[in-house]
A and B are shown apart, each in its own frame.
Chain A
Amino acid sequence: MGIAFPFSAIVGQDEMKRALIIAAIDQSIGGVLVLGDRGTGKSTAVRALAALLPKMEVVAGCRYNCDPAADRSGCAADCDARPAKGEAKAKKADVSVVDLPLGATEDRVIGALDLERALTQGEKAFEPGLLARAHRGFLYIDEVNLLEDHLVDALLDVAASGENVVEREGLSVRHPARFVLVGSGNPEEGELRPQLLDRFGVSVEVTTPDDLKQRVEVVRRRDDFERDPQAFVGKWKRKDATLRRRILAARKALDGVDVPDSVVEKASEICMTLGTDGLRGELTLVRTARALASFEKKTSVTLDHLRTVAPSALRHRLRRDPLDDSGSTARIARVLESVFA
């Protein structure tokens, strides 16, 4: 992939950066959807995040990136044959950010018969697909709204259950596949199914900055980067490292962050006023606020945190109102205005 643009060098786009960081802090929030115009740095930010993330521990030799410290009972194919918890050999590995390229075939996404072994040795063996590779990491789908329907179906199930079950070509394999789904797309190119929308924890809308100064800065940095990527990355290395440490610290502190009842109540009130379906909206809203509080090194979630993350956590969960052209963001802003009044 060559050299990624440094995350901290991205100008503006605070909401997008915040959402990505939050998803990296609390993976259970369930992914980020980045929607916006062309050329607003959606892909750049996601790819930059990959380079930013700290390494993780995995069981050596496990094709599914299992965590040596965790229960690995789900990993039938590789880890079952290995010693029990704690005794497995561990090694450091980069957090995988797996690209799901458009035009991928189903067999590569969910895994299929190992073609080589089938052809040369005539035996049936499972070849893990992209979902296996993305376990404990990120699955990135650029132009997610253009993804073919049958792939979306496969993804929806796995993203909800955290497990990939393959029953095809006489194979029967199941393996863990918990990943943070990151999708980006241009809403003009097509809409997303509500079911898929729901799988994303937070969504952000990005636009190009209207401010001349910011624009000039964007162009300058991009230009500098393209002329000499290595030097440019070197310049931003320290800032990226600081950010990485902050994310790590926030992950550790996450469980200790207190969520007062008043915050939960406010979250419910917001969701009820907006009329979001189900409880997932509230749950995500609270979790996102907690991750933000942790990132800001606070021990307790405040209403301000809630207010900051509400648009990202709820924007894609609103029922469409045919009478209201103003869009989800404006509707949330109105409700926040009244709830916090």
Chain B
Amino acid sequence: MSADTPGSGLWSDASLAAALFAVDPFGSGGIVVRAMPGPVRDTWMDCALALMPADAPVRKVPLQTGDGRLLGGLDLAATLQSGQPVAQKGVLAEADGGVVILPMAERITRGRAAMIAAALDTGQVVAERDGMTQRHDTHFGVIALDEGLEDEERTAGSLSDRLAFYVDLQLVGVNDTSIPEFDGEDVLAAQSRLGLIAVPDDAVQAVCAATLAMGIASGRAPVLALKAARASAALHGRDEVDRDDIAAAARLVLGHRATMMPSPEPPPEDDELQEDEPEDIEEPEPQSLEDIPLDDMVLEAALAAIPPDLLALLSKGGQRNRQTKGNSGAGDVSKTVQRGRPIGVRSGDPRAGARLNVLATVRAAAPWQRVRMHESATHGLQVRRDDFRITRFKQQAGTTTIFVVDASGSTALNRLAEAKGAVELLLAECYVRRDNVALIAFRNQSAEILLPPTRSLVRAKRSLAGLPGGGATPLASAIQSAAAVADSVKRAGDTPLIVVMTDGRANIALDGNADRTRAQDDAKTVSQALRQHGYSALVIDTSRQPHPQAQALAEDMGAIYCPLPYADAATVSGAVKSFAPGR
């Protein structure tokens, strides 16, 4: 594998991954291909599919595919025609013995990923839908085309964990591509040998040690790596997995899964691993490649294959943010097709969870009745699949703005009036948008939830009017209450937005004692805890002169800092509006 340019090295690894995948598509689960669409990815796909048997089914599952189509369900057209339920196989069942291609894999929802993962795990797709149960054995490999650009945009973890290989084509140029080393016949020959390949114990040991050192938690990783090593041995015509096979497996299967750099351990070689390890392998004693302990060799191979962006992050000592952005988790913007304001009717399939609009459907079917009567002998209204009309709904993303208002003495009383005014103004707008508002005030010993999330303008106004001012500043307690309210809002499926209006001068600790230092520390701690939840937050500094304490608070909270020394109601309301998510 002589790599002339970085690109051609990546390409040869990518085409090796394609060959290994073709040897054992079901065992390996599949490949994540990270690349933008383009000639390189097309070439790679052509190569990969050419290695598969000619009669293997290849099924593409676009994002908009309904669950019914994916898993199987009722064949509505056939059912209506024949007058008895007719089942239809899903795409996953149809792909038995072949490949499922997932375009735009980074946008696949977690629910969808879990369905595919279940089919991969059990070798079976079970559909309990439309009043029937379908069970089909299916074995397929997945090619997930991941077009994510940012680090957070990636294929859902539950899916990528089950797919052995990761191929990054982003740095591969068109000129880097070359004719793959293996062809379909090599793959066939390898498949016949696959079951006979022995895996020496030290290979298992080395792979497990490498996963431990790189902080790979999943137990699937070493299993998949060994499968890849076995496929590689079969492909190269060996009877036993050797060092090259394990190195290849470590590169293709383990590298991208790293969550940390190995900590420098007692063995002195490990220190060198920390920096520029590629040279270190070759330079000192090139003849001794065989002498390097297998464990280290595997680890080095895997480390060398860590994608550059991840490497940069890890070597800074950073932890990979394992939480990928959710596409469908609870609390996200609701995109259901079943609730909200109806915004029209379109022709479509009522199976995907959409609601059938009977009137529109009948209307659509009506003109054809004469013709259809002639075609079939049955009486009554004849509805065909094409007639189905479903209602479209639009649901506004619900936002709950949680106002945390400092009513203490340090915030002068007139500022309190301004804050009240701003909240009222926002309230009126929230009412129009059907958003919720919650109000937390803090003064003296602790914070008080004056108004739990509500849409009631009247209640909000009343509780605001009765808000007294003066006293100490129990900031930590206030932030804690805000976190609790935000948490419950999140659970209810809304998006919380926290707006803190304060000067940041906490002087009451969490336990209610007046201790300025402790109070500041507590405020810092709760703010940092709040940050962990990742809620949108805004700190409006209400002191006459922008104060570093409020700014520090905003930073701890991960909030946007907004000094408004002369805030009047309209300005505050404008600031919140410009910041509020989703509009």
List chain A positions with a Cβ less than 8 A from chain B: 1-2, 37-41, 43, 99-105, 107-109, 112-116, 119-120, 127, 129-130, 142-143, 146, 148-149, 186, 188-191, 193-194, 207-208, 210, 212, 215-216, 218-220, 222-223, 226-227, 320, 322-323, 325
Contacts and interface: CB of A to CB of B under 8 A. Distances in A.
Contacts of B530: 322
B110 interface: yes
A116 B84 contact: yes
B529 A325 contact: yes
Contact of A212 (B74, B129, B208, B526): B208
B304 interface: no
A226 B158 contact: no
Given A39-B218, A190-B329, A325-B532, A105 B158 contact: no
Nearest to A130: B128
A322 B157 CA distance: 27
A113 B205 contact: no
A1 B123 CA distance: 7
Interface string B194-237: 01000100001101110110000111111100100000000000
Given A219-B207, A322-B526, A208 B226 contact: no
Interface in B478-512: 480, 483-484, 487, 491, 493, 510
16 contacts: A1-B122, A38-B217, A39-B219, A40-B217, A99-B126, A109-B128, A113-B131, A143-B158, A146-B110, A149-B330, A190-B329, A212-B209, A212-B212, A222-B223, A223-B199, A322-B526
B218 A208 contact: yes
A142 B114 CA distance: 9
Contacts of A194: 491
Nearest to B351: A105
Contacts of A120: 83-84
A142 B158 CA distance: 12
A50 B483 CA distance: 41
Give the one of B124, B220, B322, B491 with max A CB within 10 A.
Answer: B220
Interface in B451-503: 480, 483-484, 487, 491, 493
B118 A320 contact: no
A215 B218 contact: no
Given A103-B70, A146-B114, A114 B127 contact: no
Contacts of B124: 1-2
B223 A223 contact: yes
A193 B526 CA distance: 24
B111 A102 contact: yes
A193 B124 CA distance: 29
B353 to A, nearest CB: 8
Contacts of A149: 330, 493
B526 A323 contact: yes
Contacts of A215: 208, 211-212, 219, 222
B71 interface: yes
B67 interface: yes
A222 to B, nearest CB: 5
B122 A322 contact: no
Contacts of B208: 212, 215-216, 219
B161 interface: yes
Contacts of B171: none
Contact of A186 (B74, B130, B131, B158): B158
Given A108-B133, A189-B110, 7 more contacts: A102-B111, A103-B115, A193-B491, A212-B209, A219-B219, A322-B480, A322-B487
Nearest to B324: A188
A322 to B, nearest CB: 4
A250 to B, nearest CB: 29
A189 B329 contact: yes
Contacts of A43: 121
Contacts of A323: 480, 510, 525-526, 529
A149 B544 CA distance: 48
Interface in B324-339: 326, 328-330
B85 interface: yes
A101 B117 CA distance: 11
Contact of B330 (A113, A190, A216): A190
Nearest to B211: A215
Contact of B83 (A104, A112, A119, A130): A119
B44 to A, nearest CB: 26
A216 B529 contact: no
Nearest to B482: A322
Instruction: Please name the 10 residue pairs, one residue from A and one from B, whose CB atoms are nearest each other, closest first.
Output: A39-B218, A108-B128, A39-B220, A104-B128, A115-B131, A190-B329, A143-B114, A103-B67, A215-B208, A38-B161
B428 interface: no
Given A2-B123, A322-B480, A39 B161 contact: yes
A148 B211 CA distance: 34
Contact of B204 (A207, A219, A226, A322): A219
Interface centre among A103, A108, A223, A325 (most CB of B within 10 A): A103
Contacts of B77: none
Given A103-B67, A103-B71, A220 B204 contact: yes
Interface in B130-153: 130-133
B43 to A, nearest CB: 32
B378 interface: no
Contacts of B209: 212
B129 A322 contact: no
B111 A37 contact: no
A322 B131 contact: no
Contact of A104 (B129, B204, B217, B484): B129
Nearest to B122: A1
A223 B230 CA distance: 11
B323 interface: yes
B163 to A, nearest CB: 12
Contacts of A104: 127-129
